[in-house]
C-alpha cells in the first residue's frame, strides 16, 4: 500500500512539472491546467476528490456514431482505418471559392440566429507577386505614358525655341575703309550661331591674320588657327555688344570690328575686303585693279545696282549683267580678257565682278579655254 502511495506521489509531481512547463508556453490555457493540478493533489492527499473523480477529457469524436470514420469505439480507441477522413469543418477550401466558417454557438439554427461569416480566399502567391510587380514597376497605363512623352517633348521644344522670330541667316561682303572718321564694319551675331570673318585684299586673295585682341572675352568666343585669314566668332551673351581689333600681316593699321549680337539677321559669313595688295597676292594682269565702288560690291554679292537695267548674256547661263550709268557690271566666274575692265572684285569662292565699258561682245577665259559672250538689251 505504501509503495502504491509513493508511486502515485511521484507521478503527481512529474505531472505537475509537465503542466507547469506547458502553462508557461501556453498562457491562454493556464487556468484549466491549474484546475487539473489541484484535483490531482487533492486525490493524492485524500482530499475531496478521488481517483475515480478524474476522467479523461471527452473528445468530440467520442460522440460520433459508432463505426463512423474517426469515431471512438467501445474500448475507447479511435478508428484508424484508411477510410477515416477529416471533417468538412476542417477541410481546406478549394481555390477560387468562398469558405463559410461557423463559430461555436453560431449559425442559422443557433440561439440568437447569428449569420455565418464568409471568408474570401486570397489568390495564390504567384498571382499576388505578378499584380504587385505590375503596380510598382508599371503604375501608368499605355495612354498615360504616351501623354507624358508628348508633354515632355513639347517642354523640350519650348525650352529650345528662340524667343520671337528666329534670326535670318545672311552672307555678305564689305569694303573696309581705313581712313580716319570712317565707321568700322558691323558683324551681326547670335547666341548659338558661329560667324566666319574672312579678310581679303583688293584682288580677292587671302590676307593672313597676324594677331587679334578681343574687348570682352566673357561675352564672345573667337577661334583662329594661328596662320589663316579667317576668324570664327560666336556670341556668348544674348545682347551685350563688344569689339575686336585684328592685325593683318604687312598692315600697320588695325582693323576694328563692332560685334553686335541679338539682331533680326545673323551674318554666317562676312568677307572683309581691304584696299591694297596682300602678301599672298599673285598678279596675273599688267595693271592693278581700280578703286572699288559700292555698286561693284553689290554686284559681287548678287545684288543689282539701284536704278540699273538687266542685260541678257548669251553663251553663259550663270552670268549676270546690268547696265548702270552707261557701263556694264558683269558677275561671272570667267576671267574677262577683253575689253579691258575699269574695276574688278573677287570673292573668296572665286566669283568675279567686273566694271566694263559698254560693248556688245565680251571675250572671256574659262580655265584656259577662250569663249565669247554676247550682250543684248541695251
Q: Which residues pair with 231 in a beta bridge?
A: 197
344 SS3 class: strand
On the question of pLDDT at 14 being above 90, the answer is no
Q: What is the pLDDT of residue 235?
A: 92
What are the pLDDT digits (tens) for 209-226? 999 999 989 999 999 999
Q: By C-alpha distance, which of 40, 2, 51 is closest to 18? A: 40
Q: What is the pLDDT of residue 138?
A: 82
Highest mean pLDDT among 41-55, 290-304, 336-350: 336-350
Q: What is the pLDDT of residue 213?
A: 93
pTM of the predicted model, to two decimals?
Answer: 0.50
Dihedral sign from CA coordinates of 365, 310, 328, 200? negative
Helix crossing, 2-25 with 30-44: angle to 10°?
A: 170
Question: Which position has the grid cell 456514431?
Answer: 65
Per-residue confidence band for 85, with pLDDT thresholds at 50, 70 and 90: very low
Mean pLDDT of 139-167: 86
Q: What is the pLDDT of residue 35?
A: 66
Amino acid at each position: 500500500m505504501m509503495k502504491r502511495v509513493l508511486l502515485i506521489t511521484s507521478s503527481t509531481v512529474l505531472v505537475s512539472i509537465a503542466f507547469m512547463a506547458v502553462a508557461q508556453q501556453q498562457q491562454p490555457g493556464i487556468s484549466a491546467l491549474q484546475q487539473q493540478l489541484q484535483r490531482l493533489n487533492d486525490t493524492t492527499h485524500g482530499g475531496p476528490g478521488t481517483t475515480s473523480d478524474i476522467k479523461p477529457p471527452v473528445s468530440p469524436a467520442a460522440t460520433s456514431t459508432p463505426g463512423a470514420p474517426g469515431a471512438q469505439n467501445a474500448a475507447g480507441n479511435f478508428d484508424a482505418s484508411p477510410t477515416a477522413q477529416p471533417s468538412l469543418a476542417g477541410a481546406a477550401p478549394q481555390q477560387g471559392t468562398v469558405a463559410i466558417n461557423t463559430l461555436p454557438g453560431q449559425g442559422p439554427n443557433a440561439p440568437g440566429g447569428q449569420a455565418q461569416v464568409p471568408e474570401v480566399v486570397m489568390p495564390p502567391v504567384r498571382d499576388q507577386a505578378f499584380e504587385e510587380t505590375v503596380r510598382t514597376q508599371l503604375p501608368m497605363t499605355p495612354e498615360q505614358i504616351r501623354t507624358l512623352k508628348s508633354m515632355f517633348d513639347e517642354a523640350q521644344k519650348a525650352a529650345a525655341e528662340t524667343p520671337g522670330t528666329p534670326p535670318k541667316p545672311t552672307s555678305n561682303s564689305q569694303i573696309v575703309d581705313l581712313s580716319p572718321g570712317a565707321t568700322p564694319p558691323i558683324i551681326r551675331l547670335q547666341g548659338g550661331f558661329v560667324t566666319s570673318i574672312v579678310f581679303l585684299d583688293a584682288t580677292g586673295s587671302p590676307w593672313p591674320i597676324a594677331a587679334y585682341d578681343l574687348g570682352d572675352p566673357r561675352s564672345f568666343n573667337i577661334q583662329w588657327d594661328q596662320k589663316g585669314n579667317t576668324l570664327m566668332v560666336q556670341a556668348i551673351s544674348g545682347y551685350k555688344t563688344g569689339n575686336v581689333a585684328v592685325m593683318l600681316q604687312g598692315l600697320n593699321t588695325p582693323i576694328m570690328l563692332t560685334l553686335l549680337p541679338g539682331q533680326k539677321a545673323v551674318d554666317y559669313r562676312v568677307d572683309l575686303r581691304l584696299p591694297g595688295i596682300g602678301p599672298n597676292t599673285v598678279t596675273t594682269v599688267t595693271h592693278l585693279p581700280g578703286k572699288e565702288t559700292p555698286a561693284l560690291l553689290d554686284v559681287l554679292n548678287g545684288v543689282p545696282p539701284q536704278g540699273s537695267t538687266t542685260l541678257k548674256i548669251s553663251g553663259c547661263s550663270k552670268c549676270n549683267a546690268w547696265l548702270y550709268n552707261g557701263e556694264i557690271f558683269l558677275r561671272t566666274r570667267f576671267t574677262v580678257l577683253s575689253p579691258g575692265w575699269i574695276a574688278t572684285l573677287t570673292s573668296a569662292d572665286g566669283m568675279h565682278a567686273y566694271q566694263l565699258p559698254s560693248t556688245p561682245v565680251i571675250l572671256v577665259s574659262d580655265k584656259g579655254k577662250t569663249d565669247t559672250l554676247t550682250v543684248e538689251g541695251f
